[in-house]
Amino acid sequence: MKRILNRRMALVAVLSVCLTVLLTSCIFYGKYQAQIRDDLKMNTHILLATQEFLSYVEQKYDPGIDGLRVTVVDAGGGVEYDSNADIGHMDNHGDRPEIRQAFSEGEGYEVRRSDTLDKNTYYYARRLDDGRVLRVAREAGSLWSFLKTVFPVLVLLLFTMVAFGVVLARFLARQMIRPVEQLSMNLDKEDERIRTYEELQPFMDKIHRQHQELKKSARLRQEFTANVSHELKTPLASISGYAELMETGIAGAEDVTHFAGEIHKCAGRLLALINDILHLSRMDAMEALPDGEPVDIGVLAADCVEMLQMQAKKHGVCLAFTGRDAACPVEGERGMLEELLYNLCDNAIRYNRPGGHVWVSVENGEDGVLLTVRDDGIGISEEDQERIFERFYRVDKGRSRETGGTGLGLAIVKHIVEQHHARLTLSSTPGEGTCVEVKFE
């Protein structure tokens, strides 16, 4: 990229210099021609201001002094006087453009080029009061001869400016590329913001942020793959072990029933795990929430509490719905909201203690509907609270397997909350309990 920028900027510099030199030469030459015309006009006025100018130019005027050629033409076009030639051998000048223009308009101007001498002759003619015409002429170099005269200077100037342009192009290219090089070197530094031009700063910040997000996603994906492998391996190993004991006949008749129950339990855990993984995959692939509908989340919460009463009693936990306002409508997808409530309540029951309590409440606030699931169970330490919504992360891994959890429930909760543009907060104290709040705005 740097090489391409160098070449293009150098090319622009060279073309700019060449065009500048050419345009400047044309402008200067135009000014030069205008100056010659003004000089001819001024010399004509000076001659006309001289008393008896014809006798003056015939006797006293020296054309070699200022390089002028003076010609006097009578009303018929005949040459009465020429300072540079014998009038006896001169043709009638009545057909000359500058003479015709002077006869008709009072003054005339003409430029004629000599290819042999590579020069231009500039003519200015002025009609006199007696009908005659005074013509003053001067030879000067053409544009090409002018360029040839200044060619060495132009070449030196051109090379100087081109060299300067190339050096400047390389410097500017390095300056333009430097932020990109800094970005490539500092992409992995999470806390270091790359400083660059004000116009490029949002672009650099976005690239840096996206790179960090990609790194985080890659890390989570690796962890997820490793966790899935581990979670699938454990029940499969148990199933394989029990099946081998039954196949070899080592297990007695009284153990077969127990082993079959364990195999059924492990198979159920595998099925639940696979279902949760598939569900998370579908949610990851979901770019936007399906068309929602107004859902009374208070009714869903009451139904969920009623559905989980048997499970709560099995764990020795008191599950209660503490009430709701008259109506708590939320715009969302009913099935996902039911799953959100189920996972929160199920977690509060599983990670509780015998004789514990779980309270579920829904209320309308000034800025939205607030769903609260609170328990007085084992609680979560502060360092674990930061990772509790990660996939397969468990505070107490042994207890999770005993209770049949897959480690994906809260990850699913987080996805559902994000899909509904809600706000999820968790507060917990080890040994005292946990409170999860979901605010639907």
The tens digit of pLDDT for each residue in 108-126 reads 999 888 665 567 888 999 9
Last residue of a domain, one of 253, 285, 317: 285
Residues 245 and 300 in one domain: no
Please count the structural domains in the chain.
Answer: 3
At 355 the pLDDT is 93
Residues 328 and 245 in one domain: no
Residues 280 and 301 in one domain: no
Q: What percent of the chain has pLDDT over 70?
A: 76
What's the CATH number where 268 sits? Answer: 1.10.287.130
Residues 242 and 354 in one domain: no
State which H helix or E strand residue 176 sits in. helix 143-186
At 323 the pLDDT is 72
At 59 the pLDDT is 58
Supply φ then ψ for residue 305, to 5 degrees.
-60, -45
At 244 the pLDDT is 82
On whether residue 203 sits in a domain, the answer given is no
On whether residue 347 sits in a domain, the answer given is yes
Alpha carbon distance 196, 219 (integer Å): 29
- If one compares 425 and 130, the residue with the highest pLDDT of the two is 425
Which range (75-79, 136-140, 284-288, 379-383) has the least confidence? 284-288
How would you label 304-313 residue by residue, b for 16+ Cβ within 10 Å and e otherwise? bbeebeeebe
At 164 the pLDDT is 79
Residues 9 and 142 in one domain: yes
- If one compares 154 and 348, the residue with the highest pLDDT of the two is 348
**Average confidence (pLDDT) over 30-54:** 77
The SS3 assignment for 296 reads strand
On whether residue 181 sits in a domain, the answer given is no
pLDDT surpasses 70 at 398? no
Residues 55 and 111 in one domain: yes
Helix intervals (H) in 187-200: none
pLDDT surpasses 70 at 90? yes
At 358 the pLDDT is 95
Alpha carbon distance 86, 91 (integer Å): 11
At 189 the pLDDT is 63
On whether residue 188 sits in a domain, the answer given is no
How many other CB atoms are there within 10 angstroms of residue 70's CB atom?
A: 21
Residues 229 and 318 in one domain: no
Alpha carbon distance 8, 11 (integer Å): 5
Name the DSSP class of 191: S
Contact present, 297 and 342 (Cβ < 8 Å): no
At 87 the pLDDT is 80
**Average confidence (pLDDT) over 236-256:** 80
Residue-averaged pLDDT of the chain: 79
Q: What percent of the chain has pLDDT over 90?
A: 16
On whether residue 182 sits in a domain, the answer given is no
Alpha carbon distance 357, 374 (integer Å): 8
pLDDT surpasses 70 at 6? no
Last residue of a domain, one of 242, 268, 285: 285
pLDDT surpasses 80 at 2? no
At 200 the pLDDT is 65
Supply φ then ψ for residue 257, to 5 degrees.
-60, -45
Residue corresponding to tokens 């997820």: 224
On whether residue 99 sits in a domain, the answer given is yes
pLDDT surpasses 60 at 176? yes
Supply φ then ψ for residue 150, to 5 degrees.
-95, 5
What's the CATH number where 38 sits? Answer: 3.30.450.20
Residues 215 and 87 in one domain: no
Q: How confident is the model at residue 190 (pLDDT cuts 50, 70, 90)?
A: low
Write 390-395 long-range contacts (CB < 8 A, 24+): 390/220, 390/223, 391/220, 391/223, 391/224, 391/227, 391/280, 392/223, 392/224, 392/227, 392/228, 392/231, 395/351
**Average confidence (pLDDT) over 240-254:** 79
pLDDT surpasses 80 at 416? yes
Expressed as residue numbers, the domain containing 106 is 2-147
What's the CATH number where 366 sits? Answer: 3.30.565.10
Alpha carbon distance 364, 137 (integer Å): 102
DSSP for 25-92, written as a single string: HHHHHHHHHHHHHHHHHHHHHHHHHSTTHHHHHHHT--TTTTT-EEEEE-TTS-EEEESSS-GGGPPP
Predicted confidence (pLDDT) per residue in 279-293, tens digit: 767 766 665 566 678
Residues 107 and 67 in one domain: yes
Alpha carbon distance 437, 441 (integer Å): 13
At 27 the pLDDT is 82
Predicted confidence (pLDDT) per residue in 317-348, tens digit: 999 998 766 688 888 888 889 989 988 998 89
Name the DSSP class of 290: P
Class of residue 207 by CB neighbours under 10 A (exposed 0-12, middle 13-18, buried 19+)? middle
Contacts of 391 (CB under 8 A, 6+ apart): 220, 223, 224, 227, 280, 407, 408, 411
**Average confidence (pLDDT) over 95-110:** 91
- If one compares 275 and 220, the residue with the highest pLDDT of the two is 275
The angle, 0 to 180 degrees and rounded to 10, between the axes of the packed helices 253-285 and 201-248 is 160
Residues 305 and 413 in one domain: yes
β strands within 256-317, DSSP E: 293-296
Residues 253 and 140 in one domain: no
On whether residue 202 sits in a domain, the answer given is no
At 118 the pLDDT is 65
For the entire predicted model, the pTM comes to: 0.49
pLDDT surpasses 90 at 213? no
Last residue of a domain, one of 285, 306, 340: 285
Residue 98, token pair as written in the block: 């500058």
Residues 260 and 351 in one domain: no
pLDDT surpasses 60 at 60? no
On whether residue 326 sits in a domain, the answer given is yes
Residue 336, token pair as written in the block: 């996902």
Looking at the DSSP bridge assignments, the partners of residue 371 are 362, 438
Task: Identify the top-confidence range among 207-221, 285-299, 377-391.
Answer: 377-391
Q: How confident is the model at residue 199 (pLDDT cuts 50, 70, 90)?
A: low
State which H helix or E strand residue 260 sits in. helix 253-285
- If one compares 338 and 67, the residue with the highest pLDDT of the two is 338
